[in-house]
């Protein structure tokens, strides 16, 4: 029950943000699936044709990513949005959409793992430089967080400090904060952050120090408290890298 109430609080919190700031919000539907590796060529051709035909424009625009690291490496993400829940009522279904997905895409997918809805915290995220063209940052550094029971209340301040620190640093530091809109049970995956990269070489660069920027904002020797609060707030954290798959997307 405690776990249920804690997760319900996260769900309520994220929706409260949307309601308080605007009647509009940014959300994405993510479908994680395992492709049939023996039929990748056919899957690619059919999925691209499907996306180009039915998912070329927002809010139904489709983007496909390859998961290249982490426990889900080898799987793929089919993403639609940005959208709102109401757009599900008018999502593409007619004109052969459902039949095309059923007959020309699904036969080449071995397994659908999850279908999730992730809402962006527009206030804390630092994504203005994306300017609606996320594909110019084709590599996504995803970090998932599982909230520790009884510590959901510290999450807001933790990410507020992360956001303020990143926004204070020199240069472009695109970063987004996202809340999973439905309970995931043992999967966790309550919250995710996304770092946007133009290429792999950026991981080799010695950019500005997050720790130094944090202590400049919050005071010398404040870092240890930040790390301790983070470890108390989250029971688990793990990373994935997603690579934009231009050939399969609807862009």
Whichever domain contains 192, its CATH number is 3.30.70.100
- Number of structural domains found in the chain: 1
The pLDDT value recorded for residue 153 is 85
The pLDDT value recorded for residue 22 is 56
User: In the chain, helix, strand, coil percent, each to 5?
Assistant: 45, 25, 30
* Kind of pairing between the strands at 234-244 and 139-147: antiparallel
- CA atoms in the 13 A half-sphere facing the CB of 234: 21
In a domain, 249, yes or no: no
Instruction: State the Cα–Cα distance between residues 77 and 240, nearest whole angstrom.
Output: 12
Q: Where are the beta strands (DSSP E) in 90-230?
A: 109-120, 139-147, 175-180, 191-197
How far from the centroid of its chain's Cα atoms is residue 243's Cα?
13
Domain of residue 149 covers 2-244
Instruction: State the Cα–Cα distance between residues 35 and 110, nearest whole angstrom.
Output: 5
Query: What token pair was written down for 187?
Result: 């999967």
The pLDDT value recorded for residue 241 is 98
The pLDDT value recorded for residue 131 is 76
The pLDDT value recorded for residue 84 is 98
In a domain, 139, yes or no: yes
List the beta bridge partners of residue 176: 194
In a domain, 130, yes or no: yes
Report pTM.
0.89
In a domain, 152, yes or no: yes
The pLDDT value recorded for residue 200 is 97
Instruction: State the Cα–Cα distance between residues 246 and 48, nearest whole angstrom.
Output: 9
Instruction: State the Cα–Cα distance between residues 31 and 174, nearest whole angstrom.
Output: 23
The pLDDT value recorded for residue 132 is 67
The pLDDT value recorded for residue 11 is 47
In a domain, 20, yes or no: yes
Angle between helix axes 223-233 and 155-168 (nearest 10 degrees) is 140
In a domain, 92, yes or no: yes
In a domain, 250, yes or no: no
Residue 164: phi and psi, rounded to 5, are -65, -35
Nearest to 145 by CA among 156, 134, 137, 161: 156
Query: What token pair was written down for 180?
Result: 């999973």
List the beta bridge partners of residue 81: 28
**pLDDT < 70 regions, the chain:** 1-22, 132, 134, 251
In a domain, 251, yes or no: no
DSSP 3-71: HHHHHHHHHHHHHHHHHHH-S---EEEEEEEEE-GGGHHHHHHHHHHHHHHHSSSTTS-EEEEEE-SST
Helix (H, G, I), strand (E, B) or coil at 214: helix
The pLDDT value recorded for residue 134 is 66
Query: What token pair was written down for 200?
Result: 């792999």
Instruction: State the Cα–Cα distance between residues 87 and 3, nearest whole angstrom.
Output: 30
Sign of torsion, CA 21 22 23 29? negative
Residue 36: phi and psi, rounded to 5, are -80, 105
Instruction: State the Cα–Cα distance between residues 190 and 182, nearest whole angstrom.
Output: 8
């Amino acid at each position: 029950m405690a776990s249920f109430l804690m997760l319900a609080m996260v769900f309520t919190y994220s929706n409260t943000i949307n309601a308080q700031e605007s009647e509009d919000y940014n959300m994405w539907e993510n479908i994680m699936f395992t492709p049939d590796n023996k039929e990748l060529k056919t899957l690619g051709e059919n999925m691209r044709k499907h996306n180009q035909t039915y998912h070329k424009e927002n809010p139904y625009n489709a983007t496909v990513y390859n998961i290249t690291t982490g426990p889900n490496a080898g799987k793929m993400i089919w993403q639609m949005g940005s959208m709102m829940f109401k757009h599900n009522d008018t999502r593409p279904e007619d004109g052969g959409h459902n039949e095309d997905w059923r007959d020309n895409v699904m036969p080449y997918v071995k397994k659908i793992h999850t279908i999730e809805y992730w809402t962006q915290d527009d206030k804390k995220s630092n994504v203005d430089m994306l300017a609606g063209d996320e594909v110019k940052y084709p590599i996504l550094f995803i970090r998932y967080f599982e909230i520790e029971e009884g510590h959901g209340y510290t999450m807001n301040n933790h990410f507020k400090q992360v956001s303020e620190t990143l926004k204070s640093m020199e240069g472009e530091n695109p970063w987004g904060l996202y809340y999973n809109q439905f309970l995931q049970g043992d999967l966790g995956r309550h919250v995710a952050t996304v770092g946007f990269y133009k290429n792999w070489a950026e991981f080799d660069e010695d950019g500005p120090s997050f720790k130094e920027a944090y202590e400049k904002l919050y005071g010398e020797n404040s870092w240890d408290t930040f790390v301790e609060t983070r470890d108390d707030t989250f029971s688990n954290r793990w990373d994935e890298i997603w690579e934009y798959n231009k050939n399969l997307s609807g862009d």
